[in-house]
Amino acid sequence: MAAREIAAPRFAPALVGAWREEPGGRLLRFEADRLIEWDAGKLKVRGLIRQSGEDLLLREEGFSRSWAAVLSGGRLRLESREKDKPFAGTFHRLDRVPAEVRLEPLPLAVGTKPSPARILEIQAEIAARFKRDQVLVKNRNTPRAEVEAMLTDNLRYFRDLLQEVGWIDAARFGAKTSVDAVILAKHTHDLPLMITVLPFAEHDLKNAEDGQTYAVLYDGLQLELGRKQLYGTQIAEDAEGPFVLPMQESREAVNRRLTRLGLPDLDEYLSFVSQFAYKGRPVQVRQDR
């Protein structure tokens, strides 16, 4: 007998569509199984775990969050029930989906051939930006405003560069420059940029035998898109200790994927993370809902 497929959760049809806050400028877009929020230029995506009447259970960066969505008189009242994640607002439905909540890849140039001098210039710029990124991000005393300013400038740089030369691929710019550019893009946490970069990163990083960077990029992006991770690279900590954020597949399936990338299995990786980041405390793999 074939295994019975479990239907994917879907928002109630009355919620699906675009909404604008009143008063305020926040925008929402309910798709079939995820909620996209735009607030002051920042995008956040929450995946649907389940809906029961007005009660929503959403996945936000790997964590389950309780929400309430109340429709009344053509208005939507949306509230988070998590004390550490306050959110409340009243929204009215829009006739069309604004560009701000269309989560799509960025426009990029295709087939361009930069001059050797321009390639050297870009390689040097990426190297300098990567060095600065590592210094600021790894120094816990760096003011947050300085880090944010750097990330904003890197995002602007990449958006402009995409339209000039396309992505910084290994074939034209070399493996090191390509890997450094992927890491810089990931640190911006800009979803359109990361979605644009992912297929190029998959090609270049696997060819460069840098599967770990690709797995971290892929998993981090999936969690930010309200989904589960595929390789088990993303770890969090709560009162019960460090744990692996939700995985899409079983431990055995994850290990097979890691092997295909030439990476250590999950147990070996978690043992390393335990020693390196958590002073030997074991990293748990918990049952996900």
State the chain's maximal CA–CA distance in angstroms: 63
Which one-letter amino acid corresponds to residue 120? L
**Residue 111: strand, helix, or coil:** coil
DSSP codes joined into one string, 29-68: EE-SSEEEEEETTEEEEEEEEEEETTEEEEEETTEEEEEE
The C-alpha atoms of residue 25 and residue 38 are separated, in whole angstroms, by: 9
Return the ∠ at Cα 283 (arms to 280 and 284), rounded to 5°: 145
Q: Supply the pLDDT for residue 289.
A: 55
Per-residue pLDDT tens digits of the chain, which is 289 residues long: 444 456 789 999 999 999 999 888 899 999 999 999 999 999 999 999 999 999 999 999 999 999 999 999 989 999 999 877 778 999 999 999 999 999 999 999 998 999 999 999 999 999 999 999 999 988 889 999 999 999 999 999 999 999 999 999 999 999 999 999 999 999 999 999 999 999 999 888 876 667 888 999 999 999 999 999 999 999 999 999 999 999 999 999 999 999 988 899 999 999 999 999 999 999 999 876 5
**Residue 237: strand, helix, or coil:** strand
Q: How far is CA 118 from the centre of its chain?
A: 31
Contacts of 127 (CB under 8 A, 6+ apart): 177, 180
Structure tokens that stand for 236 in this block: 């969090």
Nearest to 43 by CA among 81, 96, 98: 98
The C-alpha atoms of residue 157 and residue 184 are separated, in whole angstroms, by: 11
Q: Supply the pLDDT for residue 207.
A: 62
Residue 94 DSSP symbol? -
The C-alpha atoms of residue 154 and residue 252 are separated, in whole angstroms, by: 38
Residue 240 DSSP symbol? T
Residue-wise pLDDT for 220-240, tens only, equals 999 999 999 999 999 999 999
Q: Is 232 in contact with 243 (CB distance < 8 Å)?
A: no
